[in-house]
Amino acid sequence: MSSSESKQTPSSYHFETPLLDAQHPSLLHSISDQGGYAFVTMAALAAAGDSCAAETAADMAWEQLHSGPSSSVLPIWSDAYSMACLYLARLHFAGGEFKEALRVLDMGLIMGGSRLRSDLDSAIAKVSAEARIVRVLDVAAEDGLMESSLGCDERNKEVARDLPVKSLTNKMVVKMSGLSLEGFLREYFQPGFPVIVSDGMAHWPARTKWKSLDYLHRVAGNRTIPVEVGNNYLHPQWKQQLITFSEFLDRIQSNDPSHHNNITYLAHHPLFDQINELRDDICVPDYCSVGGGELRSLNAWFGPDGIVTPLHHDPHHTMVAQVLGKKYIRLYDASLSEELYPYNTETMLCNSSQVDLDNIDEKEFGKVVDLEFVDCILEEGEMLYIPPKWWHYGRSLTTSFSVSFWWNNCDENSSAS
């Protein structure tokens, strides 16, 4: 514990859990109905302040969540895990253990159910606020503190040149400034064509705030996030890890050669549902309301240069906002799906292509070589609209932080319901 943490007695650290308090009896009853008698016993002890019981309850729920395919796990065990995380985090917080409390609460957000989400969110806000006070006191005592920035220059010039064959020699994605909603609807959304909007996010606080490493460490450093390690999700050595945001930032900035063999990045993660401070730094583009639909997903993509997103397609309208750095993106029309050799429809990779654009096997995938495509370098401060089912490949040319917005039009919403 730091010297500044000792300025307040540990027992004065406390957060409320009104939803858990109200639903505690019904939750335990539901868990008992599913045979979770041992968990109920541990949860009761945890509620009374037994830290060992709280850890045991969290472990029990965790084991249930990993007892088989996610589709076969009963939803009540997600709520049970959230409950255990709240009890355990409350005990860590009472002891002044802010980092551990935040780690446990983040695990509740990532792996837990939605039933106790508001308690998790409010607890994180309370613990984060106290942790920031401590950090400010600690930083104020340090001499010669200098602001550090997130470097987005091309540290490896080979990355920009090491692009798929024929890159930037075909048709380029149209780039527009001052594009009205009516123009976007008529010229791109309805006919289904991609477009770059060059001036749609100049007002975002993230454009300046996220360049500061100190800011990112301060608002998110102690938060636990799921990262991907390896070339990409199609690579046999690819894996996922849970690390703190600060550790992730350190890996991005590191010049350690060992980190290049285990390249780490954040991909398709709902970071802004998890960390409200970062959500406040961005805005949902007005273009995402075109079609009368609703926002389906808001995700973060963050990593060093050289990160590859394999050729794939998504089911929704997509707007990719490039907050920091730049990346190369190639797109193929949705009508070319068969020529792009998708994986079998019965697999989880059915929206991904078997073709490695960085090393095309022309004997096996000969049709791909001469297919028409459009591509671009998406620059910092630009947004790219990708129509549904359009195939796209990406490669970061610098350290890159982007935000993707998925939305449906009103017809898709009504048919889904």
Task: Indicate whether 274 and 366 sit together in one domain.
Answer: yes
pLDDT of amino acid 180: 96
Same domain as 294, residue 189:
yes
Is residue 103 located within the same domain as residue 196?
A: no
pLDDT tens by residue, 155-183: 545 455 689 998 998 899 999 999 999 99
The average confidence (pLDDT) of the chain is 88
Residue 199: inside a domain: yes
Who has greater pLDDT, 170 or 32? 32
pLDDT of residue 395: 94
Which pLDDT score is estimated for 349?
A: 76
Task: Report pLDDT for 49.
Answer: 94
Kindly state whether residue 121 falls inside one of the protein's structural domains. Answer: yes
Of the residues 140, 173, 192, the one at which a domain ends? 140
* Range with the poorest average pLDDT among 3-17, 79-93, 121-135, 197-211: 3-17
What average pLDDT does this structure show over 315-342? 95
One domain, residues 40 and 124: yes
Q: What is the structure's pLDDT at 159?
A: 52
Question: How large is the average pLDDT for residues 344-348?
Answer: 71
Residue 112 domain-assigned?
yes
Tokens of 208: 């300046």
- pLDDT of 4 > 80? The answer is no
Give the Cα separation of 65 and 74 in Å (integer).
8
Tell me the average pLDDT across 247-254: 91
pLDDT at 348: 72
If pLDDT is split at 50, 70 and 90, which confidence band does 89 have? very high
pLDDT, one tens digit per residue, over 264-285 is 999 989 999 999 999 999 999 9
Pairing, β 317-324 against β 264-269: unpaired
Assess whether pLDDT exceeds 70 at residue 416: no
In a domain, 34, yes or no: yes
- pLDDT of the residue at 149: 75
- Least confident range from 6-10, 24-28, 327-331: namely 6-10
Taking only the tens place, the pLDDT of each residue in 368-377 is 989 999 999 9
344 and 203 in a single domain? The answer is yes
Query: Hey, what are 133's tokens?
Result: 């006070």
Average pLDDT over residues 63-68: 92
Residues 235 and 98 in one domain: no
Question: Is 397 inside a domain boundary?
Answer: yes
Range in 33-47, 91-105, 228-242 the model is least confident about: 228-242
Report CA torsion sign: 363, 367, 368, 369: positive
Of the candidates 380, 392, 274, the one whose C-alpha atom is nearest the C-alpha of residue 325 is 380
Question: 204 and 112, same structural domain?
Answer: no
> Same domain, yes or no, for 64 and 24?
yes
Counting the structural domains of the chain, the total is 2
Q: Are residues 88 and 171 in the same domain?
A: no
Do 78 and 65 form a contact (C-beta atoms < 8 A)? yes
The answer to whether residues 164 and 131 belong to one domain is no
**276/373 same-domain check:** yes
Domain shared by 38 and 179, yes or no = no
Asked whether residue 179 is assigned to any structural domain, the reply reads yes
Q: Which residue has the higher pLDDT, 250 or 348?
A: 250
Classify residue 3: in a domain, yes or no: no
Range of the domain at 392: 159-411
Is residue 405 one of the residues assigned to a domain? yes
Between CA 400 and CA 408 the distance in angstroms is 26
